[in-house]
Amino acid sequence: MISTFKNFKKMNTHTDHNEYDNLRSVPRRKCDQCISEVDGQNYPVEDWGMGGLKIFGDFRVNQIGQQLSVVMKFRLHDEILKIPHAANIVRKTEDGVALQFEPLTREVRTKFQKVIDDYNTREFAGSFA
């Protein structure tokens, strides 16, 4: 019976989803046009959410648990919105790092919501074209 349960678990692991998706309290977004700046260097963003982000880059010298100052730069309809905030490295891969944000201030949360609202507005307007 125990071996059957182990086989069931192996067969039912999700291979097409990121294993960390189920651990996040906030879903990640891949649809917004943004980059991140760390220590004056720009890095591409794979995805982001209100809880953190994953960025591509060489972070071999950084350690898990290390705090970084990150500036996220979003291209909105009529402006470039820069959102500075602190984040901690929670995972490292060959091609980048996953960062968890420090608790969001009201100002940062409002700016992130502005990004989401801008995207939703453009999608809605585009649905009539």
Q: Is residue 7, in this structure, part of any structural domain at all?
A: no
pLDDT digits (tens, 9 = 90+) for 51-99: 999 999 999 999 999 999 999 999 998 899 999 999 999 999 999 999 9
- Evaluate whether residue 11 is within a structural domain: no
- Using the predicted structure, report yes or no on whether residue 115 has a pLDDT greater than 70: yes
Residues 42-63 pLDDT 10s: 999 999 999 999 999 999 999 9
Q: Is residue 117 one of the residues assigned to a domain? A: yes
Q: Is residue 14 part of a domain?
A: no
In a domain, 19, yes or no: no
Q: Is residue 15's pLDDT more than 80?
A: no
98: in domain: yes
Distance of alpha carbon 61 from alpha carbon 58, whole angstroms: 8
CATH number at residue 101: 2.40.10.220
35: domain range? Answer: 27-126
Under the banding of pLDDT at 50, 70 and 90, the label for residue 21 is: low
Question: For position 29, what pLDDT does the model report?
Answer: 77
Which amino acid would we find at residue 83?
I
Domain count, the chain: 1
Asked whether residue 9 is domain-assigned, the answer is no
Q: Is residue 12 part of a domain?
A: no
Min mean pLDDT across 16-20, 30-34, 60-64, 103-107 is at 16-20
Q: Which residue type sits at 103?
A: P
Q: pTM of the entire structure? A: 0.76
Kindly report the backbone phi and psi dihedral angles of residue 101, in degrees, each rounded to the nearest multiple of 5, phi listed first.
Answer: -65, 145
Q: By C-alpha distance, which of 93, 43, 101 is closest to 69?
A: 101
